[in-house]
Amino acid sequence: VGAFLFSTYTSMYASAKAGLLQYTRSMATEFAPDGIRVNALAPGTVDTDMVRANPPEAQERMAGAALLRRAAHPDELVGP
């Protein structure tokens, strides 16, 4: 989410996320002619130690911003 949205005091975090998104897009363009796909996951809030370190109100606000109105569980981000 940090690649798409902004908030005060998150400049380094948001810059890193945006950089990874652009890196993924560039890699996808470079490898597409060889039939190689490059993808990025941007799930929004995920139930991690970093999220749980925030006050409960902040955790609720982050989860409420997600389309499912909850934080994702890390197991939900695993693919085939």
Q: Which residue has the tokens 């999220």?
A: 51
Does 38 lie in the same domain as 1? yes
Same domain, 17 and 28: yes
Of residues 44 and 52, more confidently modeled: 52
Query: Across residues 26-33, what is the average pLDDT?
Result: 98
- Same domain for 52 and 33? no
Find where tokens 């380094």 sit: 12
Q: What percent of the chain has pLDDT over 70?
A: 90
- Asked if residue 28 and residue 50 are part of one domain, the reply reads no
Higher pLDDT, 41 or 3: 41
Catalytically active residues are: 13
Q: Residue 80: its pLDDT value, please?
A: 67
CA atoms within 13 A on the CB side of 54: 14
Q: Does residue 28 sit in the same domain as residue 48?
A: no
